[in-house]
Protein backbone atom coordinates (compact mmCIF):
# COMPACT_ATOMS: atom_id res chain seq x y z
CA UNK A 1 0.00 0.00 0.00
CA UNK A 2 1.36 3.38 -1.02
CA UNK A 3 0.71 6.20 1.43
CA UNK A 4 -0.65 9.47 0.04
CA UNK A 5 1.63 12.50 -0.08
CA UNK A 6 0.60 15.77 1.60
CA UNK A 7 -0.23 17.22 -1.82
CA UNK A 8 -2.38 14.20 -2.70
CA UNK A 9 -4.29 14.53 0.57
CA UNK A 10 -4.96 18.21 -0.08
CA UNK A 11 -5.95 17.56 -3.69
CA UNK A 12 -8.35 14.76 -2.73
CA UNK A 13 -9.90 16.87 0.03
CA UNK A 14 -10.56 19.77 -2.36
CA UNK A 15 -11.89 17.43 -5.10
CA UNK A 16 -14.42 16.12 -2.60
CA UNK A 17 -15.42 19.65 -1.60
CA UNK A 18 -14.27 19.22 1.99
CA UNK A 19 -12.72 21.99 4.04
CA UNK A 20 -9.86 21.23 6.40
CA UNK A 21 -12.35 21.63 9.26
CA UNK A 22 -14.80 19.16 7.63
CA UNK A 23 -12.06 16.60 7.14
CA UNK A 24 -10.75 17.07 10.70
CA UNK A 25 -14.20 16.70 12.23
CA UNK A 26 -15.04 13.57 10.23
CA UNK A 27 -11.62 12.01 10.95
CA UNK A 28 -11.71 12.90 14.64
CA UNK A 29 -8.58 15.05 14.56
CA UNK A 30 -7.90 18.77 14.82
CA UNK A 31 -8.01 21.18 11.87
CA UNK A 32 -4.48 22.45 12.63
CA UNK A 33 -3.23 18.85 12.34
CA UNK A 34 -4.84 18.55 8.88
CA UNK A 35 -3.20 21.85 7.88
CA UNK A 36 0.20 20.62 9.10
CA UNK A 37 -0.21 17.27 7.32
CA UNK A 38 -1.13 19.01 4.04
CA UNK A 39 1.80 21.41 4.30
CA UNK A 40 4.21 18.56 5.02
CA UNK A 41 5.19 19.95 8.44
CA UNK A 42 4.29 16.72 10.24
CA UNK A 43 4.28 13.02 9.40
CA UNK A 44 0.94 11.65 10.56
CA UNK A 45 0.55 8.35 12.32
CA UNK A 46 -0.70 5.48 10.22
CA UNK A 47 -3.94 5.40 12.23
CA UNK A 48 -4.55 9.09 11.37
CA UNK A 49 -3.93 8.43 7.67
CA UNK A 50 -6.37 5.51 7.80
CA UNK A 51 -9.04 7.78 9.30
CA UNK A 52 -8.44 10.39 6.58
CA UNK A 53 -8.64 7.78 3.82
CA UNK A 54 -11.86 6.37 5.31
CA UNK A 55 -13.37 9.86 5.29
CA UNK A 56 -12.41 10.22 1.63
CA UNK A 57 -13.97 6.84 0.77
CA UNK A 58 -17.17 7.71 2.64
CA UNK A 59 -17.37 11.14 0.96
CA UNK A 60 -17.03 9.55 -2.48
CA UNK A 61 -20.04 7.33 -1.75
CA UNK A 62 -22.24 10.23 -0.63
CA UNK A 63 -25.11 11.29 -2.78
CA UNK A 64 -24.48 13.66 -5.65
CA UNK A 65 -26.77 16.68 -5.61
CA UNK A 66 -28.24 18.32 -8.70
CA UNK A 67 -26.63 21.64 -7.77
CA UNK A 68 -23.21 20.01 -8.34
CA UNK A 69 -23.87 18.92 -11.92
CA UNK A 70 -26.50 21.30 -13.31
CA UNK A 71 -25.79 23.76 -16.09
CA UNK A 72 -26.52 27.27 -14.85
CA UNK A 73 -26.62 28.67 -18.37
CA UNK A 74 -30.10 27.61 -19.46
CA UNK A 75 -30.67 27.99 -23.18
CA UNK A 76 -34.34 28.82 -23.58
CA UNK A 77 -36.90 30.64 -25.70
CA UNK A 78 -39.87 32.81 -24.87
CA UNK A 79 -43.42 31.68 -25.69
CA UNK A 80 -43.85 34.89 -27.69
CA UNK A 81 -40.94 34.24 -30.07
CA UNK A 82 -41.34 32.75 -33.51
CA UNK A 83 -40.55 29.10 -34.14
CA UNK A 84 -37.75 30.20 -36.47
CA UNK A 85 -35.88 31.59 -33.43
CA UNK A 86 -36.05 28.18 -31.73
CA UNK A 87 -34.77 26.47 -34.89
CA UNK A 88 -31.79 28.85 -35.04
CA UNK A 89 -30.93 28.27 -31.37
CA UNK A 90 -31.20 24.48 -31.77
CA UNK A 91 -28.83 24.65 -34.74
CA UNK A 92 -26.34 26.96 -33.01
CA UNK A 93 -26.11 24.85 -29.85
CA UNK A 94 -26.65 21.42 -31.48
CA UNK A 95 -29.61 20.60 -29.24
CA UNK A 96 -32.90 18.96 -30.13
CA UNK A 97 -35.23 20.54 -27.56
CA UNK A 98 -35.48 23.78 -25.63
CA UNK A 99 -37.42 24.84 -22.55
CA UNK A 100 -39.89 27.65 -23.06
CA UNK A 101 -39.52 30.12 -20.20
CA UNK A 102 -41.51 33.23 -19.40
CA UNK A 103 -40.14 35.60 -16.74
CA UNK A 104 -37.95 32.84 -15.27
CA UNK A 105 -40.84 30.36 -15.02
CA UNK A 106 -41.04 27.26 -17.24
CA UNK A 107 -44.22 27.21 -19.33
CA UNK A 108 -43.47 24.57 -21.95
CA UNK A 109 -40.93 23.06 -24.30
CA UNK A 110 -40.33 22.88 -28.02
CA UNK A 111 -38.46 20.16 -29.88
CA UNK A 112 -37.25 19.24 -33.34
CA UNK A 113 -39.90 16.53 -33.37
CA UNK A 114 -42.72 19.06 -32.82
CA UNK A 115 -41.38 21.30 -35.57
CA UNK A 116 -40.94 18.44 -38.03
CA UNK A 117 -44.46 17.21 -37.28
CA UNK A 118 -45.82 20.71 -38.02
CA UNK A 119 -43.98 20.79 -41.34
CA UNK A 120 -45.94 17.72 -42.44
CA UNK A 121 -49.19 19.70 -42.10
CA UNK A 122 -48.18 23.26 -43.02
CA UNK A 123 -45.94 25.16 -45.37
CA UNK A 124 -42.40 25.95 -44.26
CA UNK A 125 -43.03 29.70 -44.18
CA UNK A 126 -46.13 29.21 -42.03
CA UNK A 127 -44.29 27.04 -39.49
CA UNK A 128 -41.28 29.33 -39.17
CA UNK A 129 -43.55 32.33 -38.55
CA UNK A 130 -45.70 30.54 -35.94
CA UNK A 131 -45.46 31.75 -32.37
CA UNK A 132 -43.84 29.18 -30.06
CA UNK A 133 -46.76 29.13 -27.61
CA UNK A 134 -48.98 27.86 -30.46
CA UNK A 135 -46.77 24.80 -30.91
CA UNK A 136 -45.05 24.14 -27.58
CA UNK A 137 -45.58 21.00 -25.55
CA UNK A 138 -45.44 20.36 -21.83
CA UNK A 139 -42.67 21.81 -19.72
CA UNK A 140 -39.76 19.64 -18.64
CA UNK A 141 -40.07 18.22 -15.11
CA UNK A 142 -38.56 20.31 -12.32
CA UNK A 143 -36.52 19.57 -9.19
CA UNK A 144 -34.82 21.61 -6.49
CA UNK A 145 -31.03 22.16 -6.48
CA UNK A 146 -30.81 19.85 -3.46
CA UNK A 147 -32.41 16.90 -5.28
CA UNK A 148 -30.38 13.71 -5.41
CA UNK A 149 -28.95 12.62 -8.75
CA UNK A 150 -30.73 9.26 -8.38
CA UNK A 151 -34.09 11.05 -8.53
CA UNK A 152 -33.04 13.00 -11.61
CA UNK A 153 -31.72 9.85 -13.31
CA UNK A 154 -35.15 8.22 -12.97
CA UNK A 155 -36.88 11.33 -14.35
CA UNK A 156 -34.46 11.43 -17.29
CA UNK A 157 -35.46 7.89 -18.27
CA UNK A 158 -38.69 9.38 -19.66
CA UNK A 159 -37.73 13.03 -20.30
CA UNK A 160 -34.98 14.74 -22.30
CA UNK A 161 -34.13 17.26 -19.55
CA UNK A 162 -34.93 18.36 -16.01
CA UNK A 163 -35.15 22.01 -15.02
CA UNK A 164 -33.82 23.10 -11.65
CA UNK A 165 -36.05 25.57 -9.81
CA UNK A 166 -35.24 27.69 -6.80
CA UNK A 167 -38.01 29.90 -5.37
CA UNK A 168 -40.07 29.23 -8.51
CA UNK A 169 -37.38 30.47 -10.89
CA UNK A 170 -35.27 28.39 -13.29
CA UNK A 171 -31.65 28.34 -12.07
CA UNK A 172 -30.32 25.38 -14.03
CA UNK A 173 -30.90 22.41 -16.26
CA UNK A 174 -29.71 18.79 -16.20
CA UNK A 175 -29.69 16.58 -19.29
CA UNK A 176 -28.87 12.92 -19.86
CA UNK A 177 -25.46 14.04 -21.10
CA UNK A 178 -24.72 15.77 -17.79
CA UNK A 179 -25.48 12.59 -15.84
CA UNK A 180 -23.35 10.49 -18.20
CA UNK A 181 -20.43 12.91 -17.67
CA UNK A 182 -20.25 11.66 -14.07
CA UNK A 183 -18.66 8.51 -15.48
CA UNK A 184 -15.70 10.58 -16.74
CA UNK A 185 -14.88 11.93 -13.31
pTM for the full predicted model: 0.65
Residues 6+ apart with CB under 8 A from 97: 90, 109, 110, 111, 112, 160, 161
Task: Please write the tens of the pLDDT for every residue from 120-169.
Answer: 877 877 888 899 999 999 999 999 998 988 889 999 999 999 999 999 99
Percent helix, strand, coil in the chain, to 5, is 50, 20, 30
For the segment 50-60, the average pLDDT, to the nearest whole number, is 89
For the segment 111-123, the average pLDDT, to the nearest whole number, is 87
How much is the mean pLDDT over the chain? 90
In this predicted structure, the answer to whether residue 184 has a pLDDT above a threshold of 70 is no
For the segment 35-49, the average pLDDT, to the nearest whole number, is 92
Residue 9 CB neighbours (<10 A): 21
What pLDDT is stored for residue 103 in this prediction? Answer: 93
- Domain ranges (residues) in the chain: 6-61, 67-184
Domain range 6-61, CATH architecture: Orthogonal Bundle (1.10)
Task: Please write the tens of the pLDDT for every residue from 68-107.
Answer: 889 999 999 999 999 999 999 999 999 999 999 999 999 9
Helices (H), the chain: 6-15, 20-27, 31-39, 46-61, 83-93, 112-121, 124-129, 132-135, 149-156, 176-180
Task: Please write the tens of the pLDDT for every residue from 57-78.
Answer: 888 776 788 888 899 999 999 9
What pLDDT is stored for residue 84 in this prediction? Answer: 93
Please check whether the domain covering 67-184 is classified as CATH 3.30.70.330.
no
Amino acid sequence: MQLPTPDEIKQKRTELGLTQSDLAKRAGVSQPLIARIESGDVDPRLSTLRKIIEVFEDAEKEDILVVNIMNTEVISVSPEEQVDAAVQIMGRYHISQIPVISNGVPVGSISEEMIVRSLADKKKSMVSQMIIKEMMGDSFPTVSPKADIKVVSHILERNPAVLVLEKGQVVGVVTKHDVMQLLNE
